[in-house]
Structure 1
Amino acid sequence: MKLNQTTDYALRILIFLASKPEELHSIETLSRIYRLPHSSLMKIVSELVRQGFVTSVRGRYGGIKLGQAASEITVGQVVRDMEESFKVANCGECVIQPQCALQEVFVEAVNAFLSVLDRSTIADLIRDKTGLVPLLTLSKEVDNL
C-alpha cells in the first residue's frame, strides 16, 4: 500500500513541529526545509488544524505548532485522517466480485497495516532529536534561496 503525498507531507510537518515544540513555525520555513511547494503545505496545514493535530496562531508573530502532545498523536490516526481511501483494488466492477473473498483479504491487510501504525506516535518518530534537529534547521545556504 502506498500513502498519498498529502499524508506523507502531513507526517513530515508533524515530525518537524514535534522536534521543536516550544516554537511557532512558519509554513515558509517548512517549505524551505522540506523543499515543498508553499501552496501544497498551506492546504495540508489547514487540514491538520481542522483535525486538531496542529494549532495556528494568526498575526505578525504567528505560526503553527502541535495542537496536542506528540505522544498523543498516533501515526495511524494521521494516516486515517489524511488518506482519502484504503481501497487496495477496484473490486466493484469485477465479474467475480460477488463470489470472491479477495476483498476480505484486502480489508484484513489494511486493518493490520493500520494496527501497526497505531503502535507508533509522532513522539516515537523523533526519539533521536540530536540527529534529527540539525537536519530540520535552515542552513544559511538554504535561507538565502
Structure 2
Amino acid sequence: MRLTLHTDYALRTLIYLGIHTDRLTSIREVAQAYGISENHLIKIIHRLGQGGFVETIRGRNGGLRLGRPAATILIGDVVRYTEEDMGLVACMQPPDPEGLNRRGGCILSDVCRLRGVLHEALGLFISVLDRYTLADVITDRERRLLDNPLSA
C-alpha cells in the first residue's frame, strides 16, 4: 500500500495548520515550507475545505486554518477522504460510475481467498490510522522546524 502524493501533501498541510493554530497561514507559506507546488496545493486545500478539514478565509486578510481542532481530526478519515481508490488489487476496486464491475478479468474473483486476506489487511491498516488524531502526530520537533515560516 502506498499513499498518493495528494494524501501526503494533505497530511503535511494539516500538520502545518495544526502547528500554527494561533494565526491564519497562506498557501504560499505551506508550499514553501514543504517545497510543494502552489498550484498543486491549491487543489489539495480546496478538497480539504470541501471535507471540512480546512477553513479558507477569502480577502486581503484571509488565509487558511484548520476546520476543526486537531484532536478531532482522525488520520484515517483524512486518508479515506483523500485517497480515490483504496483497492489494493483490481478485484477490490469499487464499480465505476456506470456500475460496471472492474475485477480485472480475474476468473477467480468469486472464489478467491486472497482478496479477503487483502481486504482484512487494508482494514487493519485503516484501523491503526483511526487510532491517531492530527494532534497525536504533531511532534515538538516539527513545531520547532515549522514554527518560523519562510517569508513570502
Regarding TM over 0.5, the answer is yes
Aligned partner of 1:102 in structure 2 is 114
Instruction: Give me the whole-angstrom Cα distance separating, in 2, the residues matched to 1:74 and 1:33.
Output: 23
Aligned partner of 1:29 in structure 2 is 29
**What amino acid maps onto 1:46 in structure 2?**
H
- 1:22 is displaced (CA, Å) by 1.1
Choose from 116, 132, 149 the match for 1:120: 132
Indicate the SS of the match to 2:110.
helix
Aligned partner of 1:55 in structure 2 is 55
Indicate the SS of the match to 1:94.
coil
RMSD: 1.3
Instruction: Give me the whole-angstrom Cα distance separating, in 2, the residues matched to 1:2 and 1:40.
Output: 19
Unmatched 5+ residue regions in structure 2? 92-102
Instruction: Give me the whole-angstrom Cα distance separating, in 2, the residues matched to 1:75 and 1:12.
Output: 11
Aligned partner of 1:42 in structure 2 is 42
Unmatched 5+ residue regions in structure 1? none
* CA deviation map 1:49-95 (0-9, x unaligned): 00000000000110000010000000000000000011111131112
The TM-score normalised by the length of structure 1 is 0.91
* CA deviation map 1:1-41 (0-9, x unaligned): 10011100000000000011011000001111100000110
Aligned partner of 2:142 in structure 1 is 132
Instruction: Give me the whole-angstrom Cα distance separating, in 1, the residues matched to 2:41 and 2:26.
Output: 10
The TM-score normalised by the length of structure 2 is 0.87
Instruction: Give me the whole-angstrom Cα distance separating, in 1, the residues matched to 2:12 and 2:51.
Output: 16
Indicate the SS of the match to 2:89.
coil
Percentage identity across aligned positions? 40
Aligned partner of 2:77 in structure 1 is 77
Instruction: Give me the whole-angstrom Cα distance separating, in 1, the residues matched to 2:149 and 2:68.
Output: 25
User: Following TM superposition, where does structure 1 have runs of at least 4 consecutive aligned residues deviating by more than 2 angstroms?
Assistant: none
